[in-house]
Structures are given as structure tokens and as C-alpha cells.
Amino acid sequence: MNFDLTEEQLAVQRLARDFADREIAPGARERDRSEQFPWEILAKMAPLGFLGEPVPEKYGGAGFDYLTHAVVTEEIGRADSSVRTTLSVQVSLVALTILRWGTEEQKRHCLPLLCSGQWLGCFGLTEANAGSDAANQSTTARREGRSWVINGSKMWISNGSVAKLALIIAQTDKTKGHTGLAAFLVETGTPGFKSRVMKGKMGLRSSDTAELILEDVRVPAEALLGQVGDGFKVAMTALDNGRYSVAAGCVGICQGSLDASTKYAQERIAFGRPIGQFQLVQELIAEMVVKTESARLLTYRAGHVKNQGLRSTRETSIAKYYASEAACWCADQAIQVHGGYGYSDEFPVERYYRDARVATLYEGTSQIQKLIIGEFQLGLRAFT
């Protein structure tokens, strides 16, 4: 692949960078402190096409390729991972899943509302006992005439209390295991659908996280996404896209940590000279550079594979695993460079540190990514 961005991609990168620096970064600390959801920012992002980057224009999207999607996501993640999380769920987990599995009617109805920001979406897969074991769904869906009735609950759902549309994975026949799963598009105003905001998170404090509760939620047959039995495949497709955007956002954390550390090391004077002249500080900066560039190139490679229309599970797992671990490392070492100031939210590296940690957990833990990568290499499946 050609690692040079095209003129169009560079123009979008400049637009995203300017927007992130002007509209997102300045208020990130206060939003984090107050756990304030970034409604105003999302409203400004929609006209730029950022809420529907890779969605075709005929469905209201910007029609960007996947590499451009990564470039935008990186810039948003560099400024504020809470905003990036909201964006990733909206685009990667919800919109792109509807684009892949939806009927023409579903796509024409839902996608313009999502891309314009009139609707926010959430992805309802995780449950109290179904995290890494995604097939172990307790939420059920039973057919009643022309309707489906859904009962159950979901945990740790990003955008859960602010979404107008929920993509819910439910079990239609417990005797069939993962082959009985189905996916449904559920409007959150449907009777019986409730959400409860989850507070007290370590990071991503201005993104929305909620528990979803579904009590006899009745949806029409047309709410089924794909076919009965496709639910597990729908979820895995969504996670392939979600992991890609998480990887890109983690590259943003790496870059933000590097930028902040470089500036601080050039300006902070100790023993009569900038601390950047000390060899051990230069070592930390150099390792940040290597990890940032490596994470970015792995993410770009995954984007290249996705642009070819090929299955990208292996490449996105590699990118997500490496970039999330690199983001944690870079944020940790950025605090070390900043010394005591790094422990305060006066500098963004403290927030980078807290925000990066969850990236090794959601969309599949680092351990799950290793099992996926190992299976591709060995041809032996670790999962039962």
C-alpha cells in the first residue's frame, strides 16, 4: 500500500485537526470534571460529515474511505477520547452495521438520521454475564405474530441513555446457542425500553454509559436486522469496525501524549537546562515516537484491507491490541515526563492516562485480541 495520504485525505485531516483543536480540546478538562455529555460538539460535527464518515452519500454520509475515517478518528481522539467514543459507537458499531446488514428500507430510514446527528445510536451486546463471552446472551426475543417481544438487560452501553436507536442482540432459541442469536433495531422511545446512567467511571467521564433495561419491548418484524441466526455474525462484524476506530482513537492518545511531552520537555528547566536534553527523557520521547508510528501504521494497514472490501478481523485485532496497549504506555510515560504536574489535570496527560485504560477492555480485551490473532496464526480455535 501507499502510505502517503492523498490530497483529499490531507484536507480532511486538516479540517479534523482544526476542529479538534478549536472546538473539542479547550473544554475537555471541564467536561471531564463535570461529566458533561458533548451535545454542542456533536451538533457541530454533523455538518462536517464526521457522524457518518464512511457511509455513502446516498444515505446521508460523507462517503469517506476507511483510511480517512481513521485519520478523523485519530484527531478527535487526540483532543478528547470521550467525544471519540461517542463518535466510534455512532459510526462504527451502529451506522456501518446497518449499512452492512440492513435492508434498503432500514438503511434509507436510519442512516440519514444517524449521519445528521438527529439520532444517536448505541450497540447493545454486553451483559452482566456476557462480556468476552459474547454468545452467552440472556436477553431474549420471542416471535408473536408480526412482532418480536424483547426482554433483558445490557450493561456498559456507550451512548445508552442518549441514543434514539439501539442495536440489540438477543437470543431467539436458547437451545441453539450462538446460532439462535438475532439483531434488532429498537427505537428507545418504544414502551418498555428504559436506561439508567452509570456514573463513577475512571475515564471517558464525559461520554455516556448506561444500563439498558427491556421489559416486553415489542418491535415490528421489520426491526430484525439480517435474519434470525445472524445475530452473532452481526455482532462480530460490528466489533471489527469498532476495534478499528478504537485503534485509531488510541493512536490519537499516543500522539497527544507525545505532543504534550515534547512541549513540556522543551520548556521545563531543571539543573539549568531543558529536561529534554537529559538522555533518559530523550529515551522516553523516542519510545513514544516508535510506539505512536507503529500503532498508526498498523491501523492504516487495517484500513487498507477494509478499503479492499476484504475481511479485516486479523488486521483490526492486531491494530486494536497494539494501539490500545501503546496508548496506555505512552500516557503513563507522559505523566513521568511531566513529573508532579502530570498527576494533575492541569495538563491533559492525566486524562489521557485514565481514558486510555478502558481501550484494553472494551471491544474485546487485549487477551481476547491475542486469542483471535493466535487462532489466525495457528489455525486452532481457543474458544469453545
pLDDT higher than threshold 90 for residue 2? no
Query: 359-381 pLDDT, tens per residue?
Result: 999 999 999 999 999 999 999 98
- How many Cβ atoms from other residues are within 10 Å of residue 309's Cβ? 7
Domain span(s) for CATH 2.40.110.10 in the chain: 122-229
Domain span(s) for CATH 1.10.540.10 in the chain: 7-120
Query: 157-172 pLDDT, tens per residue?
Result: 999 999 999 999 999 9
Of the pLDDT bands very low, low, confident and very high (cuts 50, 70, 90), residue 134 is confident
Pick the CATH number of 122-229 from 3.30.300.30, 3.30.1490.20, 2.40.110.10, 3.30.160.60: 2.40.110.10
Query: 289-298 pLDDT, tens per residue?
Result: 999 999 999 9
pLDDT higher than threshold 90 for residue 131? no
Query: 35-65 pLDDT, tens per residue?
Result: 999 999 999 999 999 999 999 999 999 999 9
pTM: 0.96
pLDDT higher than threshold 70 for residue 94? yes
- How many Cβ atoms from other residues are within 10 Å of residue 303's Cβ? 26
- pLDDT attached to residue 172: 97
What CA–CA distances, in Å, run from 305 to 18, 65, 293, 335, 344? 28, 11, 18, 35, 40
What superfamily would CATH give domain 7-120?
Answer: Acyl-CoA dehydrogenase/oxidase, N-terminal domain (1.10.540.10)
Output the average pLDDT for the chain: 97
pLDDT higher than threshold 80 for residue 96? yes
pLDDT higher than threshold 80 for residue 384? no
CB 73 within 8 A of CB 252: yes
Query: 204-234 pLDDT, tens per residue?
Result: 999 999 999 999 999 999 999 999 999 999 9
Tell the CATH topology of 233-378: Butyryl-CoA Dehydrogenase, subunit A; domain 3 (1.20.140)
Q: Rounded distance, CA 71 to CA 64, Å? A: 10
Q: Write out the catalytic residue numbers.
A: 363
Domain span(s) for CATH 1.20.140.10 in the chain: 233-378
Q: Rounded distance, CA 140 to CA 149, Å? A: 8
Q: Rounded distance, CA 81 to CA 205, Å? A: 9
Q: Which residue has the higher pLDDT, 18 or 3?
A: 18
Q: Return contacts of 260-266, CB within 8 angstroms, 24+ apart.
A: 260/334, 260/338, 260/347, 260/348, 260/349, 260/352, 261/285, 261/288, 261/333, 261/334, 261/337, 261/338, 261/349, 264/337, 264/338, 264/341, 264/347, 265/337
